[in-house]
């Protein structure tokens, strides 16, 4: 039903803008659909491999993403035989903090310190921290600050959402669909009563007004 809905409306490319959904659904969607499907995990993994010098990468994400094992597999594939060690750590409280807008206060700092402290205990020698959730960029400032305080060396933050956006731009250019320098419009479709107008505005930095609910 959802596939028919999407393809029937002339979709040329699909972006799964969620690490957890990418971890579990990307392969099946690519096998089912006849349009390019881009996820968040592969671009994030490639960006992390490119950024690391020591070959020690830490990945934080939702419990589902971490349990899937998608990032260790994708990073190993991106490394192409290079010796890379990956440590993953689930940080489930970061998503509600981002959605509530509590992104750089005492609560966010305490939660970040708890999670990154646990990651440091597992792997104190990482030099890249991969934000393996598209919510986490809203907490980038506090995560960078806490990481700098906890680790005794420089930690490079890699944003899987940014990496995915860059990969999407490259794919659109390859397909001849990019509109660099042009104008466009935003239409949001939701399947439940998510606060897309409120929460989405925090992510985009601008108001979201046109939201349409659909049944799949």
Within-domain flag for 204: yes
Shared domain for 147 and 193, answered yes or no, is no
C-alpha 164 chain-centroid distance: 7
182 has a pLDDT exceeding 80: no
Q: What is the DSSP string of 135-164?
A: TGGGGHHHHHHHHHHHSSS--EEEEHHHHH
* More confident of the two residues 128 and 213: 128
Three-state secondary structure call for residue 183 = coil
Across the chain, mean pLDDT equals 89
- Cα–Cα dist 178/35, whole Å: 16
Average pLDDT of span 31-59: 96
Provide the whole-model pTM: 0.87
- Cα three-residue angle 26-29-31, rounded to 5 degrees: 110
Shared domain for 214 and 108, answered yes or no, is no
Confidence of residue 179 (pLDDT cuts 50, 70, 90): confident
Question: What are the phi and psi torsion angles at 181 (to 5°)?
Answer: 85, -5
- Cα–Cα dist 160/11, whole Å: 23
Average pLDDT of span 23-48: 95
Shared domain for 57 and 151, answered yes or no, is yes
Shared domain for 155 and 194, answered yes or no, is no
pLDDT of residue 1: 35
* More confident of the two residues 59 and 211: 59
Active site residues: 18, 133
Residue found by looking up tokens 């860059």 in the block: 166
Q: Which domain holds residue 191?
A: 185-216
Q: How many folded domains does the chain comprise? A: 2
- Cα–Cα dist 197/208, whole Å: 5
* More confident of the two residues 192 and 156: 156
Shared domain for 59 and 132, answered yes or no, is yes
């Amino acid at each position: 039903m959802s596939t028919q809905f999407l393809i029937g409306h002339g979709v040329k490319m699909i972006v799964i803008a969620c690490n957890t959904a990418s971890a579990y659904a990307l392969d099946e969607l690519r096998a089912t659909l006849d349009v390019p499907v881009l996820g968040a995990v592969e671009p994030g993994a490639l960006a992390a491999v490119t950024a690391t010098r020591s070959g020690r990468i830490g990945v934080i994400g939702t419990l589902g993403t971490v349990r899937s094992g998608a990032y260790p597999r994708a990073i190993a594939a991106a490394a192409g035989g290079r010796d890379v060690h990956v440590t993953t750590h689930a940080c489930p409280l970061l998503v509600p903090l981002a959605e509530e807008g509590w992104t750089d206060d005492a609560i966010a700092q305490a939660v970040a310190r708890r999670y990154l402290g646990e990651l440091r205990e597992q792997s104190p020698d990482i030099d890249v921290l991969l934000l393996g959730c598209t919510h986490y960029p809203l907490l980038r400032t506090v995560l960078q600050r806490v990481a700098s305080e906890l680790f005794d060396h420089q930690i490079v933050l890699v944003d899987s959402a940014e990496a995915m956006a860059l990969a999407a731009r490259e794919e659109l250019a390859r397909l001849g669909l990019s509109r660099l320098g042009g104008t466009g419009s935003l239409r949001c479709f939701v399947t439940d009563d998510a606060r897309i107008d409120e929460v989405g505005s925090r992510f985009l930095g601008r108001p979201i007004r046109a939201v349409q609910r659909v049944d799949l």
